[in-house]
Structure 1
């Protein structure tokens, strides 16, 4: 097992499930401070990067911070080290800590912030609330010697091919005969130069998201024993994967808004919430959207939700929801802190599967700015 990893390689594994292409237009994602060329031994996942987050990283000898909320959301005109922002940047650079942000791409991603919230709230059979990204699919057909078929199927699955719903490594295989004649200047894995060969081969078919086709083809070429692997890539005219903000699904049990509020508080570990709606309203279907949910209250209602759980709610949006008969639970923006443990575990598993033993953990610091008196 390798105990260091290049920061840019670490990000490649992270973006295998939360690519930048998922981010909303104009969002601030990516490198905030430092270098992606450096070696990483220890990484920390944080919701926000505050000075106490940097201090924790220094104390724990962290090389890399993956944050959900961008440190640099607005352009800087100067770096004044006497200001809180300047001090943070100075500390990070002095201690060679790279800071990387994944914002709305992590909200949208399967297994990201909103899926973690839906899972914690036991929202069943959940679907995307507000689609923001459509993933175009392609069909990859590869022809491989039977001796390497299993190895290549594994390589394709690890590169992101073959995902259908909650199933991974999906493929179809059929046996046949491959024919070829190596020419001068070749170094054939099987066969003799100038002589026509027949080889028992397997035709492997699998689904590939278009934005990952380059990575999948590279994995095929690397795992394939032939100098010139034969493959076809076809566009598919069929329903495509949608990604987006928020999740919506069924609520288990017999809940009123009053009882569901108590469940939400316990599930998300919050002492108080703001509530809109009649407390005796029956709750059968719930939507959840981490962060600012103001734009999506009516969308949740149109989708059939009885209640929306979110992190920020404006006064006038609350009035509109009340008049429309829509229940809303504002549990605070800090509920997105659920991503710290979830993302750390997901990245650690991906790295371990690929031969890396990197210490990656959730920040212990609470970055909740509010006190409830």
Structure 2
């Protein structure tokens, strides 16, 4: 059987149902970085960073699409000097037809993203958001569907994030009724004839949608619904949506000393050494975690009564401030965000069936700039 090809846009549409770009901070630059998504993709590579060596690795492996955590283009470029490392990287990508897409703070924030990945690796339980950025508004959707197509529409909108209540997905309610309409000139009705009133057995399919995923859910309706003009209603809700933001805070299953937690972090995050602030023999249980650079959120960790805050790129004076207020710190470096590679790979492999799935590989190029002695 011939393998069906998917486009870069189909792959990113599936990915963005998990990590919507609307979750990213305003200062961030997520999304398409180089190339086009409107082409077939046979091979995807997941990486933390897009360096010149990563572009070379992708070219040698005949990769069509790179999905990265750190944006290749973060600050505005006023010129592309092909003699600089970034210029050579962009040139290599374009010459080899490699598209680059970045998911940064949206992947940090989303459920199951970087913050959750790092927390789960340490066995931190019952986590909540460390630094809330907002509370996603909830919207009630009622869409009217001919009963033969209800299941198709239900699955399509559920796959785009509709119907998530707590730890349950694809939640919905349906009521049977009769829909009426009269197709006018210029229409091509799926059911009925022009100029005649049609009566159709339809379902009113109701569900709940986070506002951040509304546009994707409506696009799914347009694709899955058989009518030219699907009828639907949207109602703003007073129900509280999920709190979203970076970092997580929760508790270890059992208390341990700061020294023991440091050893656990080295093992689970696969780092050779750490920087630690605090008494190594004191016990800790309530732990805050934030991947990447988190020193700006020391106060939030302290206010939420964390015993210890695990984050990277700590500078001297901020670490000193935490020490004086009694907050312990563990700095495993920025590069521990590398674990997003396996998670993104697994997500994409599960999203496409064996006849349409692109090959998804993980970059093996080391992008950690530091060596440890």
- How does the TM-score come out when normalised to structure 1? 0.91
Residues 307-351 of structure 1: CA deviation (Å, up to 9, x unaligned): 111111111111111111111100010100011111121122223
Using the alignment, how far apart are the partners of 2:122 and 2:168 within structure 1? 23
Q: Structure 1 residue 366 and structure 2 residue 366: aligned? A: yes
Using the alignment, how far apart are the partners of 2:330 and 2:93 within structure 1? 37
Using the alignment, how far apart are the partners of 1:24 and 1:197 within structure 2? 48
Assess if the C-alpha contact under 8 Å between 1:288 and 1:308 holds in 2: yes
Q: Structure 1 residue 223 and structure 2 residue 224: aligned? A: yes
Using the alignment, how far apart are the partners of 1:122 and 1:47 within structure 2? 23
Structure 1 unpaired stretches of 5+: none
Matches within 5 A, 1:22-61: 22-61=23-62
Q: Structure 1 residue 260 and structure 2 residue 261: aligned? A: yes
Which stretch of structure 1 is more off in the superposition, 340-349 or 169-178? 169-178
Using the alignment, how far apart are the partners of 2:136 and 2:72 within structure 1? 29
Partner of 1:115: 116
Partner SS, residue 28 of structure 1: coil
Q: CA RMSD in A?
A: 2.3
Using the alignment, how far apart are the partners of 2:250 and 2:142 within structure 1? 36
Using the alignment, how far apart are the partners of 2:230 and 2:53 within structure 1? 52
Residues 268-310 of structure 1: CA deviation (Å, up to 9, x unaligned): 1111111111122222211110011101112112112111111
Using the alignment, how far apart are the partners of 2:230 and 2:38 within structure 1? 32
Assess if the C-alpha contact under 8 Å between 1:22 and 1:133 holds in 2: no
Using the alignment, how far apart are the partners of 1:81 and 1:366 within structure 2? 23
Partner of 2:207: 206
Using the alignment, how far apart are the partners of 1:194 and 1:46 within structure 2? 57
Using the alignment, how far apart are the partners of 2:72 and 2:182 within structure 1? 58
Q: CA deviation at 1:193?
A: 6.5
Between the two proteins, the alignment pairs up a number of residues equal to 372
Partner of 1:18: 19
Partner SS, residue 175 of structure 2: strand
Partner of 1:344: 345
| Residue 300 to residue 182, structure 1, CA distance change in 2 (3 Å) | same
| Residue 59 to residue 24, structure 1, CA distance change in 2 (3 Å) | same
Q: CA deviation at 1:112?
A: 1.5
Which stretch of structure 1 is more off in the superposition, 216-225 or 249-258? 216-225
Partner SS, residue 353 of structure 2: helix
Using the alignment, how far apart are the partners of 1:200 and 1:75 within structure 2? 55
Partner of 2:280: 279
Q: CA deviation at 1:196?
A: 5.8
Which stretch of structure 1 is more off in the superposition, 358-367 or 198-207? 198-207
Using the alignment, how far apart are the partners of 1:193 and 1:79 within structure 2? 57
Partner SS, residue 170 of structure 1: coil
Partner SS, residue 296 of structure 2: helix
Using the alignment, how far apart are the partners of 1:185 and 1:341 within structure 2? 50
| Residue 246 to residue 182, structure 1, CA distance change in 2 (3 Å) | same
Partner of 1:134: 135
Partner of 1:91: 92
Partner of 1:248: 249
Which stretch of structure 1 is more off in the superposition, 98-107 or 318-327? 98-107
Assess if the C-alpha contact under 8 Å between 1:313 and 1:330 holds in 2: yes
| Residue 350 to residue 321, structure 1, CA distance change in 2 (3 Å) | same
Q: CA deviation at 1:226?
A: 4.0
Q: Structure 1 residue 270 and structure 2 residue 286: aligned? A: no
Assess if the C-alpha contact under 8 Å between 2:20 and 2:213 holds in 1: no
Assess if the C-alpha contact under 8 Å between 2:295 and 2:312 holds in 1: no
Residues 96-151 of structure 1: CA deviation (Å, up to 9, x unaligned): 21222222111112221111111111111111110124322110112333333222
Using the alignment, how far apart are the partners of 1:181 and 1:95 within structure 2? 53
Using the alignment, how far apart are the partners of 1:281 and 1:371 within structure 2? 29
| Residue 148 to residue 12, structure 1, CA distance change in 2 (3 Å) | closer
Structure 2 unpaired stretches of 5+: none
Using the alignment, how far apart are the partners of 2:198 and 2:103 within structure 1? 51
Partner of 1:164: 165
Using the alignment, how far apart are the partners of 2:108 and 2:244 within structure 1? 10
Residues 205-258 of structure 1: CA deviation (Å, up to 9, x unaligned): 101222332332332243334454332111111212221110111111231111
| Residue 177 to residue 311, structure 1, CA distance change in 2 (3 Å) | same
